[in-house]
Chains A and B, each alone.
Chain A
Amino acid sequence: MDRFLFLTFDGLSTGAVYAAFALALVLIWRAARLVNFAQGAMAVATAYVGYAVVSATGSYWLGLGAAVLAGLALGALVERVLMRFVGHANPLNDVIVALGLVLLIQAVLGIVFGNEYRPAAAPFDTDALSLGGIAAMSPYDLWVLGAVLAVVVLLGLLFTRTPIGLRMRSSAFAPEVSRLLGVNVGRMLTVGWALAAAVGALAGMLVVPTGLGLHPHAMDLVFVVAFTAAVVGGLDSPAGAVVGGLLVGLILSYVTGYLGPDTTPLAILVLLLAVLLVRPGGLFSSVRARHV
Chain B
Amino acid sequence: MSALLEVEALSSGYGPVPVLREVTLDVPAGTIAAVLGANGAGKTTLLRTLSGLLRPTGGRVRYDGADLRGVPVERLVRRGLAHVPEGRGIVAELTVEENLRLGGLWRRDRADARRAQDEVYQLFEPLARRRRHAGHQLSGGERQMLALGRALIARPKLLLLDEPSLGLAPRVAAQIMALLRRLCDNDGLTVLLVEQNVRSALSVADQGVVMSLGRVVMATPAAQLRDDATLRHAYLGF
A–B direct contact (CB < 8 Å): yes
- A104 contacts the other chain (CB 8 A): no
Minimum CB distance partner of B150 in chain A: A181
Q: Which residues of B contact A290 (CB under 8 A)?
A: 92-93, 136
Interface residues of B in 153-180 (CB under 8 A from A): 154
- A217 contacts the other chain (CB 8 A): no
The distance in angstroms between the C-alpha atoms of A206 and B17, with both chains bound, is: 54
Interface size class of B (residues with CB under 8 A): 20 to 34
- B198 contacts the other chain (CB 8 A): no
- Whether the pair A178, B91 counts as a contact (CB closer than 8 A) is yes
> Contact partner of A169 among B89, B94, B154, CB < 8 A?
B94
Q: Which of B29-37, B77-85, B206-214, B216-224 lies at the interface with chain A?
A: B77-85
Closest-CB distance, A188 to chain B (whole angstroms):
10
The distance in angstroms between the C-alpha atoms of A176 and B162, with both chains bound, is: 14
Q: Which residues of A contact B78 (CB under 8 A)?
A: 182
Interface residues of B in 119-173 (CB under 8 A from A): 135-136, 150, 154
- Whether the pair B85, A180 counts as a contact (CB closer than 8 A) is yes
Minimum CB distance partner of B88 in chain A: A292
- A166 contacts the other chain (CB 8 A): yes
Q: Is the interface of A mostly helix, strand, loop or mixed?
A: helix
Q: Which residues of B contact A183 (CB under 8 A)?
A: 74, 102, 105-106
The distance in angstroms between the C-alpha atoms of A290 and B134, with both chains bound, is: 12
- A291 contacts the other chain (CB 8 A): yes
The distance in angstroms between the C-alpha atoms of A166 and B51, with both chains bound, is: 23
Minimum CB distance partner of B81 in chain A: A180
- B193 contacts the other chain (CB 8 A): no
The distance in angstroms between the C-alpha atoms of A185 and B92, with both chains bound, is: 17
Interface residues of B in 72-111 (CB under 8 A from A): 73-78, 82-83, 85, 87, 89-94, 98, 101-103, 105-106
- B229 contacts the other chain (CB 8 A): no
Q: Which residues of A contact B105 (CB under 8 A)?
A: 163, 166-167, 181-183
Q: Which residues of A contact B101 (CB under 8 A)?
A: 163, 166
Known contacts: A166-B98, A291-B136. The answer to whether A177 contacts B89 by CB under 8 A is: yes
Closest-CB distance, B68 to chain A (whole angstroms):
14
Interface residues of A in 151-195 (CB under 8 A from B): 163, 166-167, 169-170, 173-174, 176-185
Q: Which 8 A-B pairs have the closest CB atoms?
A: A182-B106, A291-B136, A182-B77, A179-B73, A291-B92, A177-B89, A173-B93, A174-B91
Please give the residue numbers on chain B whose beta carbons come within 8 Å of chain A beta carbons, in ascending order: 51, 53, 73-78, 82-83, 85, 87, 89-94, 98, 101-103, 105-106, 135-136, 150, 154
Task: Please list 5 pairs of residues, one from A and one from B, whose beta carbons are closer than 8 Å in the complex, sorted by A's number.
Answer: A174-B92, A176-B89, A177-B89, A178-B102, A182-B78
